[in-house]
Structure 1
Amino acid sequence: MADDEYAYLQPDFDPSSLTVPRLRSILVAHNVAYPSSAKKSDLIAIFNSNVAPQARKLLNAQSRTVRSARGIVDVPSSQSSTNDDDEEDTADDNITVSATPARRTTRRTVARPTAEDIVAPTPRSTRRSFAPTSARRASSKHATVEPEPTPRRVARTSFPSEPPQPIYRDQGADSPFSKDNPFQSGSSPPSAYRHRSKSGDRRRTTIGPSADRERRKSRDARRRTDGFYRQEEDLTAVSRTPVARVKVEPEYEEEYDQMVAGEEFTPEEQNELMKAQEENPRSALSRIPRKQKPRSGAAKAGFMTVLFTILVAVAAVWRQEKVKVGFCGIGQPSEKFAGADIPKWASFLLPECEPCPMHAECRENLRIVCDDGFVPVQHPLALGGLVPIPPTCEPDSEKLRKITALTSHAVETVLREANAKYECGETKTPYLTEPELKATIAAKGKNMKDILDLIDQAIDDVPKRDEVKTKVDSQTSVRSFRSTSLAAVSFRCALKRSVRLTIRQHLRELVGILALAITVAYGQRTISKRRSTSTQAKHLAGVALDKLATQASLHAQDPVGYPEPLISMVALRDDVLRDEFRAQERNRIWTAVQKLVEGNANVRTMVREGRTGDVSRMWEWIGAVYRIEGGSAHQSPAVNVPKTRRTYCKGKDCKKHTQHKVTQYKAGKASLFAQGKRRYDRKQSGYGGQTKPVFHKKAKTTK
């Protein structure tokens, strides 16, 4: 049920599914104002803007709610309330309590009758005594006590016993009724019924009528779902013993009796507390939680006063140290604060000296004496000298103010702009001569009277500025002025200047870094190139060795076709590196190949004349040779052809000089033609032979 009641607080809840009365009740429950004429769309908008953002917070608060231990409580009826009021008025009229000077409360001791004390019923008296069973602790400050000069005992006459009152007897486990309340599932489990002793049945009686009346109403008119079983057939009449006297008890006993297990106690802790209360009430008093009284306004004010006093004292000491330091070069340097050493990390707390203002003669303790025509002026934040801020000297007349304005214009405008142009490279010198400066200032103050006199005094004040440097020409004795301020330099110029000065300052380091970078790059490139050349040379050396071995094999198989087993190194180089057209690069690569080839023991190197008549370096393969199968140097078995030379081709399109046998059949004319053609080819190649083929009509096949 609780989950359905707060389902609208879930993140994925759609408020449009609620009815208008439900939306209004939700807004009222969360104290959200809404117009009475609002429609459902307006209510949904108010819900989304006020209730939905707080859904998580409301769910957390709901989850932290502690369930009640009071059980189901009946609302008191008007009749019982009226009876209780009458009884309370009668009882209050018959009780007189005198209070001691200390905070004490009156308590009534009521003895509960035992089974042996049951007597015959007697007439009911006009006074009744009750033992309050309220679980709420009532502080002594709620009781109204009439002070008396001296404490006195309260005496009253005893009353006859009351008529028998029905008491309820615990039926134990045999009762068909359960102790659990299904409608109060969140409450604590009921505590077991037990008989109380006489001392444990005492309850505090407050003098105030309102508090006592409310407790009596709640005791008589409500019904609790604890461990008591209500069965009318087991009622037993018990007579009440008369109350002999009202005894004044100490305050701590009252507070101890008022402490009843509440919501924060578990059933086990509740039983232990009751046992300890019965055995020794005073020893269990130390476990009573005391409610901490809130700090009064006077305590807070006292603390703030002490803190403010400490701050004022520290400020006064710092002001004294600041005054001692004074102006730079005149006062005493501060190394200690109020005679105490200050660590380096806290050195910023020490006061620093102040620069001496213009047109002033600085003295100790931040005192100045101004020049003629100037008067000292306190800073507006100095508060009449309370705050240690040094005064300044201001012009005391209109003429001095004009001179100061011209001086400021000469320094802050003219000289700074000249320095900015020099820093940006627009001019060659940052200095302005005195005549140039006067001419510029005259253009500024042309409307002033006595401008020449004012300019002369302004020029005399220019060198007094801290940012101005002066130099005198040794030949003409003309003064030149320059400002060191960079306030007039533009951002672009300042950036260029910063880069230029940085390069100039770190030129050596930059050159070293650049040279190192170039060296590293060149080294990496050289190493990479060498590795590439080495790999390429190994591959080309293998190709050259294969060609030498092939040449040797062909020469061994066909000495006529391949009369020389040698190969020129230059020819082999150009054959292997046919894709490289740069002579320098080709020679560089072949140098590595030559070292690898000539380092092979199967290669013989010699210098001799080739077939073309060129003398060059020759390589010869002297290692083992192999027979080439299916290659250009394949040699077939020899064929003996009578009256003819050996032929080396079969067919007209044959371009390979391979020996074969010639079989002359009826079509032998083609075979003879082939023989003559080969002879003609051999003659053209230098081997000689017939120029025309010889045809024999009746040629025989020979082997």
Structure 2
Amino acid sequence: MDPYKDYYMDPGFLPQKVTMARLREILGEHSVHYTGSEKKAELVELFNKHILPLVPSLRKKEEELKSYRTRTEAELAKSAERKPKKTRKSSVASSETPQTTPRSSRSSKRTSKGKVKDIVNESEPLSEELTDVDSKTITVRSIVPDITPSKTNDKGRLYPEIPIPKRVKEDHTTNRREAVAYAFRNPNYMPTRQINRQPSPELIKSQTKPRGLKTALLIFFVIFIIGAYARFKMEIGFCDGSSNTTDDESTESENSLFKISCAPCPPKANCSEGKITSCDEGFVFTSSSIHWLKPFTSRCILDFDRVQKIEKYTKMLTKISAEETGKVICGYEDRENLLFQNLQQLLRQKKLPFQDTDENFEKLTQIALKDFLRSDDGLEIVDEREGHNKLRTYVIAKKPSIPLFCRIKLFGIAWIKENLMFAIGTILICAALVGIVYKVREKIWENEQVNKAADIVLNAMRQERNMISAQWQESVMPHIKNDFKRIELWKRVEKCIQGNPMVRTRRFEYKGRNTYTWEWLGETHAIY
């Protein structure tokens, strides 16, 4: 029985008491399909269905294997004891004796030594009980056990002691080699002869072969190449003058490669005495970090810092021009603000990412005007000559930056100019509509005031039969400040009361003016 825990071949094994991981491991050993999402009860059911019926047969096979392993170990131990032990003297004597045996016998001996002996076949035949065991379950690893040392005095060693010749130094390296050779040998037999691990004569001969001549030739060749290269670089330099060489010099340099007196001056460079003395404007001198190995690596390249500054100035001048053009269109500023000199001053007042001197700033902005602003489709450059030599340059943006209020004002003015008659008609119609609405509202308000005053007077007449019109004129409409409007409304109130059939009207002179007296013909009582 295996000693590890929860062995399912154990008679006292219960699947309900083991973990789910152990149940899955047992099912996997016997290739029983399960999804992995089963619960423990389902795993126990699979174990009882597929594995539990096989336990008796598996237990029987395991017992047969154990008995066969014990018998094999005993046979191996007996064969090791019966094997004769060779001493060092006998091995040396056998090596000194001449080989007088025929070739066929020697070859037969050699082949008999190399042949693997089957210890199991030389022993007694197996019992009939082992013939029924499945051959697939009995492998070489399960049948052949770990071979124990043949000597009793090799305690604590992992491999049997093998005699080593004196010519081989006995150290830990040799012991390790013997251990590796023993561990990876064929487990069915023990090697009967030593392996010669000394290097072959061919290898020793190849290692001791002199190489001094080849090394000396190689070093001489490298020194010659370096010297020729250094002489070539020191003798030849750049031709004097600028990069625009004449046709005669270029033709001469092309015709004779090995008769070159000087190399052409690089583009955008000025050369003197075989070296570059200066570069054209906008270019800087540069050379390789290994220029002493590479000839003619010095050259003039574009000054990228200068180009970045010019591009930055160009963008800022374009933005300032758009803002100033919008202010001029709106009427906030004069056209003189669009002069290039004024734009330069506005640019100088801004916080720039890099600070230049006045001279450098003037030079870079002039380059921006000449090379970038004049070729920009979004700008219009106007040159006006004032006097004989003075030139005034205006930078006008075709797409100005106009504020929102100014845009609305300009749009309204332009629309009115284009649609003047329509605008006048619209204004008149709007004025007429406003007047009509005002008059209608005024009429409605007057009717409300007249009706309200008439109701007050009639209610008062129900309490007092006789009333004088002039007495109620000031008290009924005190909130109307306009005297003419109040008199006009009171006349309408009088007409309304006189039209009532329950009121009798008479003329009466009150305080020197003609007025009316009203007499109520109905019942006199308060309606409130």
Whether the TM-score (by the shorter chain) exceeds 0.5 is no
Q: Which has the higher contact order (CA 8 A, sep 6+)?
A: 1
What TM-score results when the alignment is normalised by the length of structure 1?
0.26
Higher helix fraction (1 or 2) = 2
